[in-house]
C-alpha cells in the first residue's frame, strides 16, 4: 500500500472550499496480500490501509461537514471517524451498480434501511468483539476501549421510528409451546423508510454462561410518514435451547428477558 501523501494537500484545499466533503476510502480486494483484504490477507491493525487515516484526519480538520463512504470488505477501526464525521455510509464492495446506489443514497433519492451484520470497533485491541459475547468477556467493569463504535444490528435512515405497545401473550410457557411477542412501529419522520425490528433475548439464570444477548427474530417493513404497523413474533420455546456441559442441546426452566 502506497505511503504517498502528495495528494492530501489538494484534497484539503478542495474540502475547504466546499459546503460538504464526500470522502471515499476503504480496501482493495486481493487474495494472499495482493490487496488489503481477502483470503490470506490478514492484518494486525484495523486502521484504514496506507495513508488514508492521514487523509481522513486532514479533511476533517478543515471543519467542512464530511461524509465518509466506506468501500471495504472488513470492518475498519472507526473511532475517530465516528466521532468527527458528519455521516458514514457503509457500501462494502457494492459491485458494478454500486456507484449509482451510493449516489442515490447521498442525494436522498433512496432511503437506506440496512443494518450492519457485524460489529465495528475502535481498534484491533478490542478483538474479538461480537454482539453475542459472553458475560465478563469485555472486562469487569466493562472496559471503555472494547465498547462497540457501531454494534451488530445498527443502522440509520432519513426518517425516525417509534416503538410502543410492547406485549407478550403469556408470562409462562411450556417447553413445547410458543410465545407471541409484539410491538407497534410508527414512522415519526417526514420520509418513507424501512425499519428492521429486531428481537433479542437473554437468559440470566442459565446453567452455563450465556451470551449477553441473542438475536431470535427480525422483520423489515416499509412505512410511509405517520404510518404505523403491528409486528408480532411467534417464538417457539425450543429456540431458547442451549448446549449444556455435556454438549447436548437442551432447555431448562428459566427467566428470559
Least confident of 96-110, 179-193, 197-211: 197-211
CA distance 94 to 71: 8
CA distance 214 to 152: 11
pLDDT in tens, 55-67: 999 999 999 999 9
**Is the pLDDT at 12 greater than 90, yes or no?**
yes
Question: pTM of the full predicted structure?
Answer: 0.89
Which domains, ranges and CATH numbers included, belong to the chain? 8-146 (3.40.50.1700), 161-250 (2.60.40.10)
pLDDT in tens, 24-78: 999 999 999 999 999 999 888 899 999 999 999 999 999 999 999 999 999 999 9
**Is the pLDDT at 154 greater than 70, yes or no?**
yes
With b meaning 16 or more CB within 10 Å and e meaning fewer, what string describes 235-256? Answer: beeeebebeeeeeeeeeeeeeb
Least confident of 68-72, 134-138, 177-181, 195-199: 134-138
At 245, the pLDDT band (50, 70, 90 cuts) reads: confident
CA distance 153 to 211: 16
CA distance 8 to 10: 5
Mean pLDDT of 149-159: 95
CA distance 61 to 114: 29
pLDDT score, position 2: 78
Pick the residue with more confidence: 216 or 175?
A: 216
Q: How far is CA 158 from CA 54, 188, 199, in A?
A: 30, 11, 23
Helices 8-16, 52-60: crossing angle, 10 deg rounding: 20
Amino acid at each position: 500500500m502506497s505511503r504517498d501523501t502528495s495528494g492530501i494537500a489538494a484534497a484539503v484545499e478542495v474540502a475547504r472550499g466546499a459546503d460538504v466533503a464526500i470522502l471515499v476510502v476503504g480496501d482493495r480486494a486481493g487474495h494472499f496480500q495482493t490487496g488489503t483484504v481477502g483470503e490470506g490477507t490478514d492484518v494486525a491493525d484495523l486502521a484504514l490501509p496506507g495513508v488514508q487515516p492521514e487523509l481522513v484526519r486532514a479533511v476533517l480538520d478543515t471543519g467542512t461537514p464530511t461524509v465518509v463512504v466506506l468501500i471495504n470488505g472488513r470492518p475498519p477501526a472507526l473511532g475517530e471517524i465516528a466521532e468527527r464525521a458528519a455521516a458514514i455510509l457503509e457500501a462494502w464492495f457494492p459491485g458494478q451498480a454500486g456507484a449509482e446506489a451510493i449516489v442515490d443514497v447521498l442525494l436522498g433519492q433512496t432511503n437506506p434501511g440496512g443494518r450492519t451484520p457485524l460489529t465495528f470497533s475502535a481498534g484491533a485491541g478490542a478483538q474479538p468483539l461480537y454482539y453475542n459475547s459472553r458475560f465478563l468477556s469485555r472486562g469487569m467493569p466493562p472496559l471503555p476501549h472494547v465498547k462497540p463504535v457501531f454494534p451488530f444490528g445498527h443502522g440509520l435512515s432519513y426518517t425516525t421510528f417509534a416503538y410502543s405497545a410492547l406485549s407478550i401473550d403469556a408470562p409462562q410457557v411450556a417447553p413445547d409451546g410458543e410465545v407471541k411477542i409484539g410491538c407497534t412501529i410508527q414512522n415519526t419522520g417526514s420520509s418513507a423508510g424501512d425499519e428492521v425490528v429486531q428481537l433479542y433475548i437473554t437468559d440470566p439464570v442459565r446453567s452455563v454462561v450465556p451470551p449477553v444477548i441473542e438475536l431470535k427474530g427480525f422483520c423489515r417493513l416499509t412505512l410511509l410518514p405517520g404510518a404505523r404497523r403491528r409486528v408480532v413474533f411467534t417464538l417457539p420455546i425450543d429456540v431458547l435451547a442451549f448446549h449444556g456441559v455435556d454438549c447436548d442441546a437442551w432447555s431448562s426452566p428459566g427467566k428470559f428477558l
